[in-house]
Amino acid sequence: MALTRSGPLTKNPQVVALGLAQIRVGVSATNIASAEAVLTAIHSIGALANTKFTGKTDFWKLESGFPLLEDLSLPIRESCILECGFKEISMANLQLARGIDPSDEYSDTNISLGGLAAPEFVRMEAVYTFPDNQSQMVIIFPRANVVSSVEIDMKAEDAAVVPITFEAKRADSGIVSGGNSVWDTMPLGSIVFLTGGNMV
């Protein structure tokens, strides 16, 4: 019997995304040779208010004729970012928001303001577990910078949320110090799908 319903019907309800990804942050240099997910839940930055991945591509367009019509589009620039907002205002999370690798050992109990240096490189893995708890999507930035202004918006009846942005940077073997050949065909990172026993 023919299907009577129309429109964009669900093909596989198990792959509909609902909820947030867990953001894990670790040392870039130590894990640069691994193209698989290597960070665990212990590397999580904790409770989040939002998680958003954006893969931006700029295109150059070839046009010809009168009136001009488009003949071809060519990608000329690509960038990947992951934006999130963390709720847990810890020393490690605020160091991360300031561009400091939180896995470094710091004896200070304060975070200095002023005199910022270039943000350090970290490995970021965003682990999204689908609602069926049988599969995952992992976004891997093997060599990322945190680039954001620190905002701690405290409210009377809601948790403060600090927004931060991870920018993927090149991790291929062309980077003499900090890159690796496993990333030569995917220099900004990858999106990996895991199922069953492969979940992290």
CA triple 187-189-195, angle to 5 deg: 145
Q: Is 121 exposed, middle or buried (0-12, 13-18, 19+ CB in 10 A)?
A: buried
pLDDT of residue 139: 98
Spatial CA neighbour of 116 closest among 84, 89, 149: 149
pLDDT at 200 over 70: yes
pLDDT of residue 106: 56
pTM for the predicted model, two decimal places? 0.92
pLDDT of residue 40: 96
- For residue range 3-34, list pLDDT tens digits in order: 688 888 888 888 899 999 999 999 999 999 99
How many Å apart are CA 37 and CA 175, to the nearest integer?
A: 21
Domains and CATH numbers, the chain: 16-59+71-198 (2.30.110)
- For residue range 139-191, list pLDDT tens digits in order: 999 999 999 999 999 999 999 999 999 999 999 999 999 999 999 999 999 99
